[in-house]
Amino acid sequence: MMKQLIKEPLLHFILLGVGLFYFYAGVVQPTSANNEISISESKIEQLIYSFEKSALRPPSEKELNTLIKNHFKEQVAYQKGVEMGLLEGDTLIKKRIQQKLEFIVEDAVSDSEPSDEQLTQFLQAHQEDYRHDERFSFVQLYFDPQKHTDFNGDMLTIFEQLTDQHFDKQEQLLAWSDDIFLELEFTNIPFHQVARLFGSEFAMSLSLLPTNQWQQKIKSGYGTHIVYLKAITGGELQPLEQIHAKVKQDWLNEQREQTLAAFYQNLFDEYQIDTTLKNNMPNVDKKGN
């Protein structure tokens, strides 16, 4: 029952409301009737804790009184600044308040403990992020366009000779391949290493190639290759028990993003904010002035 409650978005907003209440109550408590500003016991404890953390000892009575007095100075100055409109246009203060609100929203999710069922559903929905690294065994012939007067014709001629019969003599293959200071043949090399050596486009292409066939015009960070994919292994979805911590962290990150997005959408609705681009564009003439 508790685990079901944790994943309810309504609970996040209840926690958010409680967090905002305590944040406001712990920092400043103005009353509209007499314009008083008071300090809560939790705020005094926070001041003492901060002092102990920096001074490595509790504050004396005089030091505590000074801390409280400085707190009141800060609050009355802030309150007066708000009344005078000094915060208008101050992007630093606005950004800081925004960050504090977002911290409160995100903290409402941080202590959530997802069930294995929730993590399994998350894993199934994001399978491509949790697969074993693919490994490839392949032969590649590189073609440098600067070394061929008829680049496409030379590549096609060699490709046709390769497909007529299976070449396993490296001497002949080396004679056909232009030099890029890389091995002609790679065995059981992981996807990320292929991407590092040849570029991500080449690695992605390997994932889609049929095995035991020569394929031409495979692009890499260097140029163009003819490739013979001998074998491809891996790519299986990792079991949850092996990657539980990572899946949990990714799940929490997604929950924070979704909760924060819902929080802002509620604020937009409350303040009747129209977020469509067309209604927020400044008036400009056709010349862009």
pLDDT at residue 112, rounded to an integer: 86
Domain range list for the chain: 2-111, 114-131+244-284, 132-233
Please list, in sequence order, all residues whose beta carbon lies within 8 angstroms of the beta carbon of residue 96, skipping any fewer than 6 positions away: none
Give the other-Cβ count within 10 Å of 58's Cβ: 11
Question: For residue 104, which of 5, 15, 9 has the smallest C-alpha distance?
Answer: 15
Phi, psi for 189 (deg, rounded to 5): -95, 130
- For the chain, 289 residues long, give each residue's pLDDT as a single digit of tens: 444 544 554 455 545 554 544 444 444 444 444 567 788 889 899 999 999 999 999 999 999 999 999 988 888 888 888 888 888 888 888 888 889 889 888 888 887 899 999 999 999 999 989 999 899 999 999 998 888 889 899 999 999 888 866 666 677 788 888 888 889 999 999 999 999 999 999 999 999 999 999 999 999 989 899 999 999 999 899 999 999 999 999 999 999 999 999 998 888 888 887 766 545 555 545 444 5
Q: What is the pTM of this model?
A: 0.59
Q: What is the DSSP string of 117-183?
A: HHHHHHHHHTGGGSBPPPEEEEEEEEE-GGG-TTHHHHHHHHHHHHHHS----HHHHHHHSPP-SS-
Which of these CATH numbers, 2.60.40.10, 3.10.50.40, 3.40.120.10, 3.30.360.10, describes 132-233?
3.10.50.40
Query: Quick check: 51 and 63 in contact, CB under 8 A?
Result: yes
Token pair in block for residue 215: 């394929």
When computed from its CA atoms, the radius of gyration of the chain, rounded to whole angstroms, is 32
